[in-house]
Amino acid sequence: MSKRIISLTASLLCLVMLLAGCGSSQNASTNNASKGDRVVIYTAAEDERIAYIQEELNKKFPNTEIVIQSLGTGQLLSKLQAEGKNSDCDIFYDLEVVNAEIILNAAPDLFVDLSDYDFSVYDSSVTGYTDRHHKYAVNGKTAGAFLVNTKLLAEKNLPVPATYEDMLKPEYAGLISMPSPKSSGTGYSYYNGMITVLGEDAGMKYFESLNPNIKEYTTSGSAPAKAAVRGDVAIAYGLLWQCVNYANDNEGMTVVVPDQGLAFDLFTMGMISGHETKGSVKEVFTYLFNELNKPQCAKFNPDKIYVNMPASEIKNYPASYAEITMKGLFDFQYKQNLLDQWKY
């Protein structure tokens, strides 16, 4: 082989290696960029909702690392309070509205102002806070109801309770579970709902009478319904949408929606101030606000928050129900006063 051919071959090899090297360098740069683009979401949402949101965000933002950290209602409040603007959290999701107000009372500039977003999409029933600020947006309303294990009650020759007062009957002693108001937004909504309907004195007596019937106060809002499905208790107070799903999926379960109305709570989403300019944080939040949250509501918590609310995808979900006009829904001092009086 001549020196010319060898030289030409070597040149071609160098050219191929150079092109390959350029390609590798470009790919590495892209990969590094995607590894560096990280969005952290703190949430108190339930596991099934987190899984859905994670999947949809991963599809929408394939080059962004989306980290969703699951926290209890109280944990979410305390972490945001403790970490402030230096938090690992970029976006909060499913923060109980009164807890959002607690945070803002101490740190008014901790959350990004969302005034540039279209709040006209919300139904008038959830916009009581908009006259004050746009530091968060509502991502869900969650009503509470009772999940009843009819098979277990039948074994004990007991009827299915129909009203809040029925829960006080002595024959249900040790058969009921509810979340603790001190650790669960679901539990607090039940507590606050009865105080709203009955008044503070009669409401406190209601829970004093209910206490002998409670087998367990759980830290999780979802735990009582799961216990009813297992047969550990016969009656569980829980989120309406979860109760309906459990009744759909498990024989011998039914949902009780008292005619007096259902207590409810509102949950919020927003961004930590200063984080909105970081990577894809604002883009991810905008997608949550404008697009993803509506189908999430239809699949999991279809209680109305939007003017044009999507139809519920949950089979047998109540077409309508009476709501309790919740007292002090945004008033953290009112909530603290009630929790200070809770002794169970």
Mean pLDDT of 19-44: 56
Report whether pLDDT(284) > 50.
yes
Q: What is the DSSP letter of 112?
A: P
Q: What is the residue whose two structure tokens read 């002794």?
A: 343
Q: For residues 320 and 256, which has the higher predicted lDDT (pLDDT)?
A: 256
Q: What percent of the chain has pLDDT over 90?
A: 80
- The half-sphere exposure of 104 on its side-chain side, counting CA atoms within 13 A, is 22
What's the pLDDT tens digit per position in 166-194?
Answer: 999 999 999 999 999 998 889 999 999 99
Backbone CA torsion sign across 244, 245, 246, 252: positive
Helix ranges (H only) for 61-198 are 73-83, 97-106, 150-155, 185-198
pLDDT at 125: 80
Task: Judge contact between 267 and 94, C-beta under 8 A.
Answer: yes
Number of H helices, E strands in the chain: 12, 9
pLDDT of residue 22: 39
- Structure confidence at residue 32 (pLDDT): 33
State the Cα–Cα distance between residues 149 and 247, nearest whole angstrom. 9
Please state the separation of Cα 327 from the chain's center in Å. Answer: 21
The pLDDT value given to residue 127 = 79
In this prediction, what percent of the chain has a pLDDT beyond 70?
89
Do residues 35 and 65 make contact, with C-beta atoms less than 8 angstroms apart? yes
Return the percent helix, strand and coil in the chain, to nearest 5: 50, 20, 35
- Side chain identity at 193, as an amino acid letter? G
211-235 burial code (b ≥16 CB/10 A, e <16): eebbbbbbebbbbbbbbbbeebbbb
| pLDDT at 262 > cutoff 60 | yes
The answer to whether the pTM exceeds 0.85 is no
Mean pLDDT for 52-71 is 97
pLDDT band per the 50, 70, 90 thresholds, residue 220: confident
Model confidence band, residue 124 (pLDDT cutoffs 50, 70, 90) = confident
Average pLDDT over residues 256-266: 95
Query: Of the candidates 250, 228, 246, 260, which has an alpha carbon nearest to the alpha carbon of residue 163?
Result: 260
Q: How far apart are the first and last CA of the chain?
A: 93
User: Mind listing the pLDDT tens digit for each residue in 84-95?
Assistant: 999 999 999 999
- Taking only the tens place, the pLDDT of each residue in 98-108 is 999 999 999 99
Tokens of 76: 């979410």
Q: Which domains does the chain have, with CATH numbers?
A: 36-140+267-314 (3.40.190.10), 142-264+335-341 (3.40.190.10)
Average per-residue pLDDT for the chain:
89
Predicted local confidence at residue 73, as pLDDT? 84
Q: d(Cα 88, Cα 248) in Å, to the nearest integer?
A: 38
pLDDT tens, position by position, 266-279? 999 999 999 999 99
Q: How far apart are CA 236 and CA 224, in angstroms?
A: 5
Is the pLDDT at 4 greater than 80? The verdict is no
pLDDT in tens, 227-242: 999 999 999 999 999 9
Question: How long a stretch of residues is the chain?
Answer: 344
Token output for 128: 């009581």
pLDDT category of residue 221 using cuts at 50, 70 and 90: confident
Q: How far apart are CA 320 and CA 56, in angstroms?
A: 29
pLDDT category of residue 131 using cuts at 50, 70 and 90: low
